Amino acid sequence: MIAVRILRQRGWIEDDHIAESLLCCPGNPTASEFLQVLIRSGVLSVRLANHVLKMTRDHLRTRLGDGRRRRSEDGSLGRLAIDRGWISVDQLEIAVREQAKLRRVGLRFRIGEVLVRQGALTSPQVRWLLDLQGQLTRFCRQCGSVDLEPGSCQNCGEPLRPAPALGPVIADGELSDDLLTAT
């Protein structure tokens, strides 16, 4: 199920919550039915569930399309970066090929991570593009809740902070700020 893959890849819920929810669903549930179970169990907000459902539908539309469209021609992070003049089509195509090579050896890097690793984009640029796409997650340091919208946590009212936008290659420096305490 695409919705499960989205939830797992983004780390929005734990695997045990997915397993428990799948046990509660009869037979082969639709994405909507599965997300409803997660909402009722309290592990997923309605807003995040709707976002996952939209991402699932977008993924299916792309899959069912004619398949002739190049990656650099879609509404992706790469397209947004090209539109702003931050990278060229050639840089994006090189990054997409690099991403495919990495996946063949079992490493899953998002295109923004590859572009930063290659020096084509900066971490703040990727964070800005993810926010523009509505893909930049925010989290609450107090209770650990995750949301896509800026503002306060719906659970405890603490301010939400942007989650690290990139994986281990780049995010180590970003994460170290969170580990420091005032002296």
Residues 161 and 118 grouped into a single domain: yes
Residues 48 and 78 grouped into a single domain: no
Residues with Cβ within 8 Å of 58's Cβ and at least 6 positions away in sequence, in order, are: none
> Which pLDDT value is given to residue 10?
79
Which segments in the chain show pLDDT lower than 70?
Answer: 1, 26-27, 59-75, 164-183
DSSP 8-state secondary structure symbol assigned to residue 67? S
> Which pLDDT value is given to residue 120?
94
Residues 76 and 30 grouped into a single domain: no
Last-in-domain residue among 42, 68, 94: 68
- Range(s) of the domain holding residue 24: 1-68
pLDDT digits (tens, 9 = 90+) for 111-152: 888 999 999 999 889 888 887 777 777 878 888 777 777 788
Last-in-domain residue among 48, 68, 88: 68
Taken in order 22, 24, 30, 32, is the CA torsion positive or negative?
negative
Total domains in the chain come to 2
Q: Which residue, 134, 110, 129, 126, is CA-closest to 174?
A: 126
Measured distance CA(22)–CA(36) in Å, rounded: 11
Residues with Cβ within 8 Å of 117's Cβ and at least 6 positions away in sequence, in order, are: 109, 169, 170
Residues 155 and 178 grouped into a single domain: yes
> Which pLDDT value is given to residue 168?
37
> Which pLDDT value is given to residue 144?
77
Residues 49 and 7 grouped into a single domain: yes
> Which pLDDT value is given to residue 64?
53
DSSP states of 111-160: HHHHHHHTTSS-HHHHHHHHHHHT---EE-TTT--EESSSSB-TTT-PBP
